[in-house]
Structure 1
Amino acid sequence: MMKKAENIIVGISIGDLNGIGSEVVLKTFEDSRMLELCTPVIFANVKIMSFIKKNLDSAVPLHGIDKLDQILPGKINVFNLWREGVDLNLGVNDDKVGEYAVKSFIAATNALKEGLVDVLVTAPINKYNIQSEEFKFPGHTDYLDQELEGNALMLMVQGNLRVGLLTDHIPVSEVASRLTEELIREKIETVRKALIQDFSINKPKIAVLGLNPHCGDGGVIGKEDDAVLKPTLKKIFEKGTLVFGPFAADGFFGSGQYENYDAVIATYHDQGLIPFKTLSFGNGVNYTAGLSKIRTSPDHGTAYDIAGKGMADYNSFKEAVYLALDIYRSRIEYAEISEKPLKVREKQH
């Protein structure tokens, strides 16, 4: 059964406290109407959030809690994950602050796994200062892939523009060797299921970009497109998935071809992220598709250069909250339709 909107609990990991994460979180919930859509729970410490709030001259009210069963709808809940003070130096990369970013993220993920929060929205981290003997992941997605059921895939979303990746945080020199038929099948199926379950698109159309310039020009500029991508996509299409390509990446977005598809899958990180951020920077959302639980994040990083100056644009974080809520509702509706297909069809006649 669908929860009332205000009772959907949004867990928020606070990210790098020296960056703009806290600022965009506070700015998002300065609009009291947000509390009619969900109940936020920030995994941090109410004293440090109050300090940041004061530094930003924000009037947003905070409600400190010591246990997650104390969450109150209509309040901006701050779960006191730690008691000690944290020395902040806004705009500075600090390994100690990175430890608190990890602590917040792990605690929020555990709450998500246990059903204590309904969705997770993560503020930006610094991929370098989070590294330790206990946490050896390049980012949020890889850790979530380990902790949650399913196969994680980074899907960048802004309106009807959705860009997924066959490979993500790996060196460009390794991309070609990673493009196997198995990987391509897995990623396309993950995107297909996400479009149906999370975005309510019954028969999604998916475009795949080629690896090499001009898709290899018949093998003149690389053989991977002809040898791996084309035959694999043909097999997948013949089994009923509406997948098309590979398309030459250089003109695909500039020509507007992407508008004909429900999702675009790039072969590597920058091939997909550069056009996506060019088209939607500041409003895009990073969604971890393919997992049993819902996690979103803004499309930007810690932005140390403007941290603490009140200059951060919070639209991307706000959109990340909106998308998490939309997907949460879509999944419930999909589950209900899947369980009662006959009743649904009867209603339609």
Structure 2
Amino acid sequence: MAHTVFIDGGAGTTGLEIADRLKGRKEFELIKLNDDERKDPDCRRTALNFADFVILCLPDDAARDAVAMLDKASGTRVIDASTAHRTAPGWIYGFPELVGPSVVAGADRVSNPGCYPTGFLALMAPLVRAKLLPRDWPYTVNAVSGYSGGGKSLIERFRGDGSNIAFMDYGLTLDHKHLPEMQQKSGLANPPVFAPAVVPGFRGMVVEVPLPIRAMRSASPPDELRAELTRYYEDAPLITVHQEPVSEVLLHTDAAPSDRVDLHVFADSKGETARLVAVLDNLGKGASGAAVQSLNLMAGIDPLAGLRL
């Protein structure tokens, strides 16, 4: 028997990409509401409590409201793609490579990682855990994303008639909503200084952590950082740690959907400075692909099924 899945907020970019990854799969049956039903609280409540799995693709407050609609007796298991529960007690962080596939598989409440934190944590969490990087260093994070990460309003700003945006720096109040997640899940003593930006491409993301290793107390050489990431992800089919240096890292305006993450450790010839770089699809492993990976694990099927490899 197929597992029933209700995507609450399925008309948004993340919800549509999740549905695309579930299309044609016999393991799942999507519960669909028409426009009027989506606006009817009773219809939504019924769908939420009937489904085996619910994936929330909603603003934070709406996601909390949806969880509050669930009856304890329903047995519905939830994956929340919003920020609402990423650091909340009782929720499992939906990053199997960091928390363990079996932990996600056995969870009833899973919070989907944010797109920027996915790249940052893929780089930093294993290295801080292994004590190859100090947890109390004042780290900085430089990152760019395609405009799809901002939802319909930002998509319209970049695609609308007369748009000529070449680069958008934001998060200038330095209180970005991803910071608590980035600090908590990496084990850092302090939140990093986070400098996100948007470029005129639909999808794709580069997340970079520069390391002045010569000035850092107890930081390991770049080769050791790369070796630890390679060891840590050796059994992680979605994450590749590149061994050979490249001369440039590109995002393409016509990039296809991808649920992979590519990690790089760049360094100068003396190993005195380094740049940790993660490249991913903000709509893939940074959103929809991560939700489907968690759904697969929770349903007890191949975790890579339906993903864009």
Taking structure 1 as the reference length, the TM-score comes to 0.32
Structure showing greater relative contact order (alpha-carbon pairs closer than 8 Å, 6 or more residues apart)? 1
Structure number with larger C-alpha Rg: 1
> TM-score, with normalisation over the residues of structure 2?
0.35
More helix by share: 1
